[in-house]
Amino acid sequence: MNRELTGVDRLIELVAVLVLGIATVGTAWCGYQAAQWNGVQASAMTASTDARVEASRLFGLATQKASYDSSMIAQYAQAVQAGNTKLVAFYRATLIREELLPVIDRWEAVIKAGGTPTRLIDDTSYMNAQFGPYRTATAKADAATTLSLQAGDTSHNYVINTILLAVALFFSGVTSSFSWRPARVLLVLAAIASLGVAAVTIVDLPVG
């Protein structure tokens, strides 16, 4: 014989169904968002890896240029000191990189004025020109790494909320299995609490 439901029992069932519906939608939403942010994390990590590979290549290239320029400057200085104008012209026209010529011209002007030129390694404008692309690539890699970590944290938070919503689903789903009213009330309250905690957290999470 079925027990006749009172107004309180009907209210409990109504709340349980409402929580069940909201938790179901929330679980699907959190699962979708977790997958989206996993994709963002993977893409950002790939971009970070690519940028670091490029940064490594650029660093090697910049180091090679600086080493070559230092060697050319040493040989050029010897030719100038020996007064070998033909060799000086040959170096400037053939062996010395065009980007280095303005540096050499500044050095010669400083020397003619009786000063001491800045060492190549201490020449800020020269070093920035050589290693600037490497630094840019490194900054890009760092930014991508940061984005990947943030996306991973966001995905993790969505997974945690999926679990909370699953708990709410369980409590609201088993409410009808109990005939003792205090137990039903307790289960509904537990479902509402789980749903509430999840809802408060989800509101603050970014959407992918």
pLDDT value at position 180? 81
Domain that holds residue 115: 7-203
Report how far residue 116's alpha carbon sits from residue 17's, in angstroms, rounded to the nearest whole number: 85
Say what the pLDDT of residue 68 is.
95
Q: Answer whether residue 41 is part of any domain.
A: yes
Whether residue 208 is contained in a domain is answered as no
The total domain count for the chain is: 1
In a domain? residue 2: no
| Residue 72 lies inside a defined structural domain of this protein | yes
Q: What is the pLDDT of residue 73?
A: 92
pLDDT tens track for 103-113: 999 988 998 88
User: How high does pLDDT run on average in the chain?
Assistant: 91
**Domain annotation covers residue 40:** yes
Specify if 158 maps to a domain.
yes
| Predicted local confidence at residue 1, as pLDDT | 40
The answer to whether residue 124 is domain-embedded is: yes
pTM for this structure? 0.77
Q: How confident is the prediction along the chain (208 residues), in pLDDT tens digits per residue? A: 445 557 777 888 888 889 999 999 999 999 999 999 999 999 999 999 999 999 999 999 999 999 999 999 999 999 999 999 999 999 999 999 999 999 999 988 998 888 888 888 888 999 999 999 999 999 999 999 999 999 999 999 999 999 999 999 998 888 877 778 788 889 889 999 999 999 999 999 999 8
pLDDT at residue number 5: 58
pLDDT at residue number 184 = 85
**Within-domain flag for 127:** yes
